[in-house]
Structure 1
């Protein structure tokens, strides 16, 4: 994957060890990192540095994450991923209502956070990503085009989003619930077997007859394995 030069991520958390862990990992991935330990500093830094992505903890002294999110979104187009210590629907709804774009429950895996950051960048700042190359896949978000083994795939918009999500989360088991949330959206009210239908279509177009590329893990979900 190409370095992410020119993409700034702001980390906001009052726990120094979490800031250090995320800063090291995201800097290694090529992002420019700025940090804040409270809501007031986060609002000031957002004004000064205009980050594309903000990782914002909910529970902080002074101005909490909810209020910081609301005030930042009044003036900035940044993608905000909120961190919460509990999987509380009420907190989730509140954050999304105030302008948050996504959420993660602590503890979380770094790979999942990175995947969510990339999803926000694809949705809000695709011009910053250019082409992404993962094994035999070449993803060009500006053209909404995916090449597999140098051949352009004929994909519907939903197939494009699903395959992109699978490729950028290569090696990670993705449940139907996660796929529905991230590809179809939180408001999707249909049956979850729609995921099976689209996975089957992608396998046909990729020539994956033996399911070695997109694997099914019974009771868990799907995982894309690169050669």
Structure 2
């Protein structure tokens, strides 16, 4: 229970519940191929839109920590530059303490994150235009840009009506992607200065898209695998 804005030391680890939910899904979910330079964030992201009988949309999102020097996670060259306030928030424990799982997760803010990097989305009644592979790739790309690159895009902290930074379907091109060890037809956005994006369709209802910071590309394998 959370009381007065304080999370008690015995609060349950949310990663346990999210992982359990992930294992109950009745459709395939995709992840970046496990590799030394990446650690999947412990809490899985879910977004959903309700329908009259079943969920109209359910998406699963994986975030990763990037290790530029994966042989030694304690190597300070893995860390990003932090402002003084953020560093204090990570290093200083509040008087009331924090759950062990939260202490561990907070430490990850020292390192570069590939936020919502891989998204698997299932639509119960897909719309031909709104849920096309191209549009879903654009939507995922803009989601990552809006939330991870606001400063680089010159966006204000609050709401903004600017749209000149957004990716559009006109930037989507044909491509290919390695999935479970074989190449599959895909679409990609390779024109944005901050991210590279690629996606493929699994079936009529399910699409997988991946959006990655360009600066991370030299350190990772872009292939995908089915989550087991």
Please give the range of the TM-score, normalised by the shorter of the 2 chains: under 0.3
Q: Scaled by the length of structure 2, what TM-score is found?
A: 0.23
Structure with the larger RCO, 1 or 2 (CA within 8 Å, 6+ apart): 2
Q: Scaled by the length of structure 1, what TM-score is found?
A: 0.23
Larger relative strand fraction: 2
Larger relative helix fraction: 1
